[in-house]
Amino acid sequence: MSSVVAINQRARSAEQKALRRRAVLETAETYFLEVGYEAFSMSKLAKNIGLAKGTLYLYFQTREELFLTLYEQSLIRWSQVFIDDLSDAMTSKAYSQKLFSTASADGTFLPLLIRLEHMIEHNVAIPRLVSSKQVFINQVEALAEVTSNSLSLSKAQAIEVVKTMGVLLIGATQGDQGPSLDHEELPEDVQDLIASFSSEPLFIKNAVRIIEGIRTEALSNI
């Protein structure tokens, strides 16, 4: 009768299976936040949960499908946070700052976004991939709605802004994914280089340039 499935019990009803799937995802995300993408192993995840490795494959076809699901969750979660943070009549700079800070605050979203196309989407069955793209379309739609309002742009311009921000976010945060070089003795020129690729200003400066670009294009096209 209880809707909780203890790890040593079997999930029989559809409801219990959905519950167990969610429990797997929860543990997976915690584990992912600890060790990152490359060190994440299915056997260790199984041990973390207290299930056998084979059981994981009853709930996800591949390691990548699990990551795709985590990505979807984090996308939805982040866009909700971002949308709630937006207000009317923002400057492009304030908008970009909110976008960057909310995205960075979610430890799962950016690392998975960056790996989406060249790692995760390979080794996922096509129908699952299609459904994931549709989730993406819905989120772009929702984000464009509020963006249009916050930046006083047409709907088409807002869609353009949202898509472009995604592209820029991937590029600008690339440097954050490199190995940590803190406390290493680096030559000054290399230190300067790293500093000049600091992701936050890199993103915000160019986000503003792009948003203003989109704005002025509309003016000259009347």
- The residue within the footprint of DNA, chosen from 44, 133, 155, 209 (CB under 7 A), is 44
Amino acid at 107: G
Question: Mapped to the 3 state alphabet, what secondary structure does 112-138 carry?
Answer: HHHHHHHHHCCCCCHHHHHHHHHHHHH
What is the token pair recorded at 140?
Answer: 């772009």
DSSP 36-76: HHHH--HHHHHHHHTS-HHHHHHH-SSHHHHHHHHHHHHHH
Q: Which is nearer to DNA, 9 or 196 (CB)?
A: 9
Angle between helices 63-85 and 14-39 (to 10 degrees): 90
Contacts (CB under 7 A) with DNA, residues 170-209: none
Contact residues for a copy of itself (CB under 8 A)?
37-38, 111, 114-119, 121-122, 126, 129-130, 133-134, 136-137, 163-164, 166-172, 174-175, 177-179, 181, 184, 186-187, 189-190, 193-194, 196-197, 202, 206, 208-210, 212-214, 217
Taking the complex as a whole, how short is the minimal distance between the CB of residue 127 and a copy of itself, in angstroms? 10
Specify whether the CB–CB gap between 77 and 29 falls below 8 A. no
Is residue 122 part of the contact set for DNA (CB under 7 A)?
Answer: no
Taking the complex as a whole, how short is the minimal distance between the CB of residue 45 and DNA, in angstroms? 8
Could you count the other beta carbons within 10 Å of the beta carbon of residue 150? 22
Residue 169 contacts which entry, a copy of itself, DNA, none (Cβ below 5-8 A, type-dependent): a copy of itself
Site string for DNA, 51-80 (x = CB under 7 A): xxxxx-xx--xxxx----------------
DSSP 198: -
Q: Which is nearer to a copy of itself, 80 or 196 (CB)?
A: 196
Residue with tokens 């160019």: 206
Q: Which is nearer to a copy of itself, 88 or 189 (CB)?
A: 189
Give the binding site for DNA (CB under 7 A).
5, 9-12, 17, 20, 40-44, 50-55, 57-58, 61-64, 123
